[in-house]
C-alpha cells in the first residue's frame, strides 16, 4: 500500500518507559528496512499517552539510540502527549454515532469474572455496562469515573468478522464479539487507549505499512474496525516473530543485559551490533558488521517468512 504520493510510509513507535532492548531494536530495524528498501519514508512517533509513566530521560535516550543505530526518520517526531485534542474529537465523533457507552467495571472484576479470556489473558468483555439506564449511569458515576467502551457488532452480524492479510502470518479472520467484545477507547483515568490513538495517529501521519511484533497481531481486527467506522485508510500489516530469552519469555526493558546501554558497551559500534542482530534473525548468512543502509539493500520479506516461530536471542558475543 502507498499513500497519495505513491510512496510507502512506515513508522517507528517507541514508548519512553525505559531503555530500548534487543527485541525493540529488532522490531524497529525490520520496520525501517522494509520502508527504506522500497524507497519509502519512515516517521517517528513517541507513544507517551500516559505522561505519568514517562521520564524525559528515556525519550532523549530513545532518540539518541535510534540515531546511533542509523535508523533515521523523516520529518519531526510526533508525540502522543500533544495530540489529546485530536483523540477527544474522535471520541466525540464515535459518541455522536451512538457507539460508545460508559463502563464502570474494574480490572479486578473483569479478571475475576467467569467470562472467557483471550490468549494474552485479557477477558472478553461480556457487555455488563452496555444496557445501563441513564439513572444507573448517573448513580455509578458518583462512585467512580467510567471508562469508555466501543460497541462491536453481535457475533452473527457480518460486520463483526474482520478479515485481513498479514505479510508474515498470512490470512487472518476474527469475530470481534467472540474474541474481545466491546473494547476500551478511553480508560477510567481519562487516558485514551492504545487502539484509538494509534488508529488516529497512523491515519494522520499517512502511515501505509505497520511492522511490529507478533504479540500485537490480535490488535489488528480492533484497529481495522475503528478505521472503518472513522472512514480511515487501512494500512498493510506485518507481524514478526519475537526475540525471547532462553526460557521462552519475551525480552523486556527489565532485561538490563540486553538493553542499549549494555549493547552499546559490548559492541562499541552500531555496525557490529546490527551485523550480529541481522545474522541472529536470519537476514544475513554470516556475522559481519553492517550498516542499516547496507542491510536495506538486501532486505527481503522472504527472509522473515522462512520462520514464524519466535527466536531465542543468543548471548551477545564478547568482542
C-alpha cell at 316: 551477545
Q: Do 72 and 89 fall into the same domain?
A: no
Question: Residue 52 has what pLDDT?
Answer: 78
- Domain presence at residue 159: yes
Q: Do 67 and 108 fall into the same domain?
A: no
pTM over 0.85: yes
Instruction: Give which of 203, 284, 224, 246 is closest to 29, Cα–Cα.
Output: 284
Domain end call among 161, 195, 229 = 195
Q: Do 93 and 169 fall into the same domain?
A: yes
- Domain presence at residue 231: no
Residue range 97-139, pLDDT digits in tens: 999 999 999 888 887 765 555 555 678 999 999 999 989 998 9
Residue 212 is assigned to a ligand binding site: yes
Residue 34 is assigned to a ligand binding site: no
φ, ψ dihedrals at 195, nearest 5°: -60, -45
Residue range 161-175, pLDDT digits in tens: 999 999 999 999 999
- Domain presence at residue 216: no
- Residue 197 CA to residue 58 CA, distance in Å, equals 21
Q: Do 176 and 261 fall into the same domain?
A: no
Residue 193 is assigned to a ligand binding site: no
Question: Residue 59 has what pLDDT?
Answer: 92
Q: Could you tell me the CATH number of the domain that includes residue 151?
A: 3.90.800.10
Residue 97 is assigned to a ligand binding site: no
Q: Identify which of 15-29, 30-44, 101-115 has the greatest average pLDDT.
A: 30-44
- Residue 206 CA to residue 303 CA, distance in Å, equals 27
Residue 47 is assigned to a ligand binding site: yes
- Domain presence at residue 31: yes
Residue 225 is assigned to a ligand binding site: no
Q: For residue 61, give its domain range.
A: 9-76+241-312
Q: Could you tell me the CATH number of the domain that includes residue 279?
A: 3.40.50.620
Residue 13 is assigned to a ligand binding site: yes
- Domain presence at residue 307: yes
For residue 52, CA distances in Å to 191, 235, 319 come to 10, 30, 39
Count of structural domains, the chain: 2
Q: Do 65 and 112 fall into the same domain?
A: no
Residue 107 is assigned to a ligand binding site: no
- Domain presence at residue 35: yes
Residue 87 is assigned to a ligand binding site: no
Amino acid at each position: 500500500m502507498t499513500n497519495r504520493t505513491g510512496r510507502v510510509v512506515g513508522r517507528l513507535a517507541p514508548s519512553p518507559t525505559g531503555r530500548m532492548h534487543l527485541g525493540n531494536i529488532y522490531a524497529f530495524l525490520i520496520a525501517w528496512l522494509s520502508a527504506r528498501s522500497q524507497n519509502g519514508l519512515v516517521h517517528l512517533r513517541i507513544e507517551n499517552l500516559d505522561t505519568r509513566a514517562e521520564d524525559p530521560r528515556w525519550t532523549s535516550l530513545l532518540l539518541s539510540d535510534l540515531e546511533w543505530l542509523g535508523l533515521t526518520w523523516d520529518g519531526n517526531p510526533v508525540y502522543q502527549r500533544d495530540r489529546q485534542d485530536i483523540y477527544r474529537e474522535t471520541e466525540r465523533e464515535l459518541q455522536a454515532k451512538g457507539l460508545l457507552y460508559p463502563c464502570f467495571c474494574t480490572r479486578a472484576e473483569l479478571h475475576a469474572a467467569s467470562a472467557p479470556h483471550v490468549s494474552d489473558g485479557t477477558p472478553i468483555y461480556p457487555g455488563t455496562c452496555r444496557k445501563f439506564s441513564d439513572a444507573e449511569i448517573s448513580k455509578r458515576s458518583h462512585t467512580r469515573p467510567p471508562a469508555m467502551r466501543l460497541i462491536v457488532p453481535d457475533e452473527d452480524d457480518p460486520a463483526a468478522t474482520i478479515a485481513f492479510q498479514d505479510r508474515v502470518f498470512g490470512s487472518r479472520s476474527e469475530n470481534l464479539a467472540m474474541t474481545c467484545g466491546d473494547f476500551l477507547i478511553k480508560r477510567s483515568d481519562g487516558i485514551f487507549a492504545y487502539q484509538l490513538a494509534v488508529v488516529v495517529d497512523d491515519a494522520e501521519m499517512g502511515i501505509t505499512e505497520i511492522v511490529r511484533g507478533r504479540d500485537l497481531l490480535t490488535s489488528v481486527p480492533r484497529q481495522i474496525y475503528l478505521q472503518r467506522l472513522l472512514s480511515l485508510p487501512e494500512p498493510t500489516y506485518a507481524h514478526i516473530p519475537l526475540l525471547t530469552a532462553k526460557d521462552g519469555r519475551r525480552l523486556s526493558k527489565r532485561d538490563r543485559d540486553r538493553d542499549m546501554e549494555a549493547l552499546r558497551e559490548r559492541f562499541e559500534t552500531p555496525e557490529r551490533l546490527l551485523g550480529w542482530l541481522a545474522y541472529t534473525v536470519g537476514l544475513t548468512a554470516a556475522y559481519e558488521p553492517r550498516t542499516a543502509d547496507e542491510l536495506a539493500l538486501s532486505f527481503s520479506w522472504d527472509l522473515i517468512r522462512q520462520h514464524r516461530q519466535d527466536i531465542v536471542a543468543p548471548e551477545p558475543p564478547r568482542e
